[in-house]
A and B are shown apart, each in its own frame.
Chain A
Amino acid sequence: MVSQFGFVLLFMIAGIFLVLLVLGIARILRPSRPNPEKNAIYESGEETEGTAHVSFNLRFYIVALIFILFDVELVLLFPWASVFGDKALFDDTKGVWAIYAGIEMFIFVFVLALGLVYAWKKGHLDWIKPSQEETNFKSPVPKELYKDINEKYA
């Protein structure tokens, strides 16, 4: 007498339980000898410096916001997908329903797509790369020397 959602719930409980079980076994078996070196944050061998909370670029936020708008739009597409081909309604209205629903969704998506085009045109989706500046620095080592070394050990 377990409903379909009951199964989902059972799976979730089993998942949580198994993870805890594995971690618990590991905890019992492993020796625990912490030292500062082990406790340090692993950053590919680099020494970490400062805090991880640094100020993000505002552009991330705009991109994330545009993403959310389209996320919500996508969510609204799901119920539409389940009804626009509804056979009973299709037969009742002699096919007008499909056209109606199609136009309805087209307007919705079109308006938002135009919004995206606007954002694109305005250049909010481009990333400003730091411009590369040429320096007037003249190296005492001639470039051919590097080239020779590169070719020699290529």
Chain B
Amino acid sequence: MYPIIVFSVSGLLMLFLGLSVNKKSLLPYNLLFMLVGLASNFLDWNAPGLYFNGMLEISNPIILVQWVLIFAAILVSGISSRQFDDTHAYPAEYYAIMQFALVGALIMVSFQNLLMLFVGLEILSVGLYVLTGSDKRNLRGNEAAIKYFLMGSFATGIFLFGVAMFYGATGSFDISSGNSVANNLLEGKMFFWLGMVFIFIGLLFKISAAPFHFWTADVYQGAPTVFSAFMATIVKTAVIFALFRLAAYSFNLEYENWSKFLVIIIGLSMVIGNVTAVFQTNFKRVLAFSSISQAGFMLLSLIGLGAQSYGNLGFYSLSYALATISAFGVFLVISSNTIVEGRPSENINVFDGLFSRNPDLAIILLISMLSLAGIPLTSGFWSKFFVLNDAAAKGYFWILILGVLMSAVSLYYYFNPIRASFKKTDLGKIEISSLSKYTLYVCAALTILFGIAPNILRSLF
């Protein structure tokens, strides 16, 4: 609850700091605000309950997820160092909008009322539409922004329609009211089902699960890389937890009905995401399709929906965030050193000879790719293991087999950059700012730590 207030205020402060403070000292301020937000979350610890007339729910697992979100935002700000130094960048606005978007994300993991979910979703989405198009000189970025905006607002409309139907069926926006119509006859439940389907579709769109994934690759590619990382981690985490809350509190009695349709979506996401990623040459597109398949894996915990599922999902989100942010971070450093036709090259061959140019980065890339692929000794392995285990417990064995198969496919494209980085090259060393270096070290270290001892994190939930 407190971080929501902190980030609302700090976003405003950031806007005004941009008027008086020089550009380069904005990042430390941003990190400071984020740390304050992280710390303010302690105030809610061990004070579970509903706040603000039943608008927000606070409990320790929710606070942990909020930490994951804020921590991911800190890492994203960490890799953004030196990225906004040129004259056309407006770091104050970017950081302010990032903090506001974080407000939306934090609401989305702790809402108790569908109206709050809507407000959170809108704050998050509007912020991201703007960030996607923030590099105005990039035509692709403009296209991505307009695409994301049109598709995203359409999805929000569908979601809102579902909320209206939910309200019509239950007479309340409270998420626990979904259970009150559970015992109704078929006729009375029609609106409820309609609402459920539309709410699911609207939110599945936002995490880019398979039939609703069309925008993902273009948007990830067009958006500035820092904001692609933000989108891949924070938006996905926030929306998946919103979905989880709805699945667990509003629609849990309808499990039989939606799980069948969700399983198909999961299968589609895995297949489409992984198979399409194989054919991509642009690294950002590879990560976009990878994020589609990872969304499929994340949704598995909704199918599981057991006592451990929330923790598993939290573990998955954090390990995915660590791996994705380090992949984007390494890519960001290298691509801004490889200018092709006046723009940073985004082709996968920028990684050529990375090991001889900067061995640290090559190893971090290796760890993050292994983690994304789900190789043992990285946190990615355990995260996939836990969610697949969850789904298998509910008897969906074919999705387990499909998941393992698709992880094998994913090895191909995750190993491409690794192969490239061990090529011989005569290009010079790559310099990296110390802040992004330490950020990447932290990501890699945590990935390995949670890969060796996953229960450190998992026991907290």
Using a CB–CB cutoff of 8 Å, the interface residues on chain A facing chain B are 111, 114-115, 118, 121-122
Q: List chain B residues, Cβ under 8 A from A111.
A: 8, 12
Judging by beta carbons under 8 Å apart, are B19 and A121 in contact? yes
Q: List chain A residues, Cβ under 8 A from B8.
A: 111
B16 within 8 A of A: yes
B194 within 8 A of A: no
Between A and B, 12 residue pairs with Cβ closer than 8 Å are: A111-B8, A111-B12, A114-B12, A114-B16, A115-B12, A115-B15, A118-B15, A118-B16, A118-B19, A121-B16, A121-B19, A122-B19
Given A111-B12, A118-B16; 5 other pairs, CB 8 A cutoff = A111-B8, A115-B12, A115-B15, A118-B15, A122-B19
Number of interface residues of B (CB under 8 A): 5
Q: List chain A residues, Cβ under 8 A from B15.
A: 115, 118
Closest 10 CB pairs of A and B: A118-B15, A121-B19, A114-B12, A118-B16, A111-B12, A122-B19, A118-B19, A114-B16, A111-B8, A121-B16
CA gap between A127 and B12 in the complex, in Å: 25
CA gap between A114 and B8 in the complex, in Å: 12
CA gap between A118 and B100 in the complex, in Å: 16
**For window 1-59 of chain B, which residues contact chain A by CB distance below 8 Å?**
8, 12, 15-16, 19
Chain B interface, DSSP helix/strand/loop, else mixed: helix
CA gap between A129 and B16 in the complex, in Å: 26
Closest CB in chain B relative to A59 CB, distance in Å: 15
CA gap between A115 and B93 in the complex, in Å: 12
CA gap between A6 and B241 in the complex, in Å: 49
Q: List chain B residues, Cβ under 8 A from A122.
A: 19
Q: List chain B residues, Cβ under 8 A from A118.
A: 15-16, 19
Question: Which residue of the partner chain B has the closest CB to A118?
Answer: B15
Q: List chain B residues, Cβ under 8 A from A115.
A: 12, 15
Question: Which residue of the partner chain B has the closest CB to A121?
Answer: B19
Question: Which residue of the partner chain A has the closest CB to B8?
Answer: A111
CA gap between A118 and B18 in the complex, in Å: 10
Closest CB in chain B relative to A141 CB, distance in Å: 47
Question: Which residue of the partner chain A has the closest CB to B15?
Answer: A118
CA gap between A43 and B8 in the complex, in Å: 51
Q: List chain A residues, Cβ under 8 A from B19.
A: 118, 121-122
Q: List chain B residues, Cβ under 8 A from A114.
A: 12, 16
CA gap between A114 and B19 in the complex, in Å: 13
Closest CB in chain A relative to B388 CB, distance in Å: 45
CA gap between A115 and B12 in the complex, in Å: 8
Closest CB in chain B relative to A89 CB, distance in Å: 15
Closest CB in chain A relative to B339 CB, distance in Å: 29
CA gap between A69 and B8 in the complex, in Å: 18
CA gap between A121 and B12 in the complex, in Å: 14
CA gap between A103 and B8 in the complex, in Å: 17
CA gap between A128 and B325 in the complex, in Å: 42
CA gap between A62 and B35 in the complex, in Å: 34
Question: Which residue of the partner chain A has the closest CB to B9?
Answer: A111
Q: List chain A residues, Cβ under 8 A from B12.
A: 111, 114-115
CA gap between A115 and B15 in the complex, in Å: 9
Most buried by A among B15, B16, B19: B15
Closest CB in chain A relative to B4 CB, distance in Å: 13
**For window 173-192 of chain B, which residues contact chain A by CB distance below 8 Å?**
none
Question: Which residue of the partner chain A has the closest CB to B20?
Answer: A121
Question: Which residue of the partner chain B has the closest CB to A114?
Answer: B12
CA gap between A114 and B15 in the complex, in Å: 10
Question: Which residue of the partner chain B has the closest CB to A110?
Answer: B12
CA gap between A121 and B18 in the complex, in Å: 11
CA gap between A143 and B15 in the complex, in Å: 52
CA gap between A111 and B15 in the complex, in Å: 12
Q: List chain B residues, Cβ under 8 A from A121.
A: 16, 19
CA gap between A114 and B16 in the complex, in Å: 9
Annotate B388-406 by CB proximity to A: 1 below 8 A, 0 otherwise.
Answer: 0000000000000000000
Closest CB in chain B relative to A119 CB, distance in Å: 10
Question: Which residue of the partner chain B has the closest CB to A119?
Answer: B15
CA gap between A121 and B15 in the complex, in Å: 11
Closest CB in chain A relative to B244 CB, distance in Å: 31
Closest CB in chain A relative to B150 CB, distance in Å: 18
Q: List chain A residues, Cβ under 8 A from B16.
A: 114, 118, 121
Closest CB in chain A relative to B94 CB, distance in Å: 15
CA gap between A29 and B15 in the complex, in Å: 64
Closest CB in chain A relative to B423 CB, distance in Å: 46
CA gap between A111 and B8 in the complex, in Å: 9
CA gap between A73 and B130 in the complex, in Å: 22
CA gap between A99 and B301 in the complex, in Å: 46
CA gap between A54 and B453 in the complex, in Å: 65
CA gap between A114 and B12 in the complex, in Å: 8
Closest CB in chain B relative to A108 CB, distance in Å: 12
Closest CB in chain B relative to A67 CB, distance in Å: 18
Question: Which residue of the partner chain B has the closest CB to A107?
Answer: B8
